[in-house]
Structure 1
């Protein structure tokens, strides 16, 4: 979670690297997903550090406006550093979901809590938790209070409704099952792994 300005820089740098993009005027104008990701991080920073309401409200409005435009329905503080949202289009994630660093996620994905009415303060107990270096293929559905390990690949259109806590699994099918073991997260981990000293790319 972004707790200070240095964290903000680290998260944005990691996101850009995972997406294989540079922060430039051209990309800012022409790439709406890049713009959304950066605005999401700025909004997280403003809320987590309890900036004045006159700063938080405009950033939240900007975040919500871009969400609607791109077809995204998600909250703040879901992703660790290094998220790569591959395309704009339908993407629905329960705001109490938590996903580790270096997540690569495609359009049509729906990640939701259990299909029950619960006390809002306990809602997080009923939402998914995913580890680091997880690849989520197009159209995947992940529901309920489930846990998925690190370095896992979730295949296109998979329906995941139970735990897969072991690291390095290839999960696919309806309902999802393990197709292979020993995944390394190669689909999402690039040579430039997340580092605290990373600086924003410019140019």
Structure 2
């Protein structure tokens, strides 16, 4: 959760690195102006809204916060995302636009790489939602639900249904219901860590 302007800048820097966005030369800056990346635009608004909600939600900034919420909602609907603020740690990489639904009580650590058609939420009216560690890869179509926790350095396979906790690190889980299928080196999947 962003608690200061320095953390806001750090989150943006790590998200940019995770998404592989480079604005170091004039040509890449020009391309980003002519044809902006809609997912990166969403992530920048997400982080800015987190910063203003957590740190600057008084006075005139409250009005700006309402404006950011409007832009965030509009961009979310356009891309098919239902992602609340203060869920993801730094280093978020949303790979494709498309349906992504995440419960507001979910907590996900740093360096999460997430694909389209992922659902993460509570189970059967419970308030508790999944808690995922750092360096998590979530493949397309994965469903993660319930009061569960997933260890650091875990890859979740395509279309997996995860409804129980996995405490062992450096594993690949997949299947319906999900089970550990192999050990992995997460750095081969999430390249920037």
Question: Do both proteins adopt the same fold according to a TM-score greater than 0.5, normalized to the shorter chain?
Answer: yes
Match of 1:48 among 36, 54, 61: 54
What runs of 5+ residues in structure 2 fail to find an aligned partner?
A: 24-28
Q: TM-score, normalised by structure 2?
A: 0.91
What runs of 5+ residues in structure 1 fail to find an aligned partner?
A: 194-203
Shift of 1:184: 3.4
Shift of 1:128: 0.3
> Is 74-83 or 50-59 further displaced after alignment?
50-59
Coordinate RMSD, CA, aligned? 1.4
Relative contact order, CA 8 A, sep 6+: which one is greater? 1
DSSP 3-state at the match of 1:30: coil
The answer as to whether partners of 1:172 and 1:179 remain within 8 angstroms in 2 is: yes
The answer as to whether partners of 1:135 and 1:185 remain within 8 angstroms in 2 is: no
Counterpart of 1:37 in structure 2 is: 43
CA displacement, residues 162-198 of structure 1 (integer Å, 9 cap, x when unaligned): 00011111000011000012533431141xx4xxxxx
DSSP 3-state at the match of 1:11: helix
Aligned residue pairs, count:
184
Counterpart of 1:91 in structure 2 is: 100
Counterpart of 1:26 in structure 2 is: 31
The answer as to whether partners of 1:102 and 1:189 remain within 8 angstroms in 2 is: no
The answer as to whether partners of 1:168 and 1:185 remain within 8 angstroms in 2 is: no
Q: TM-score, normalised by structure 1?
A: 0.86
Counterpart of 1:59 in structure 2 is: 68
DSSP 3-state at the match of 2:186: coil
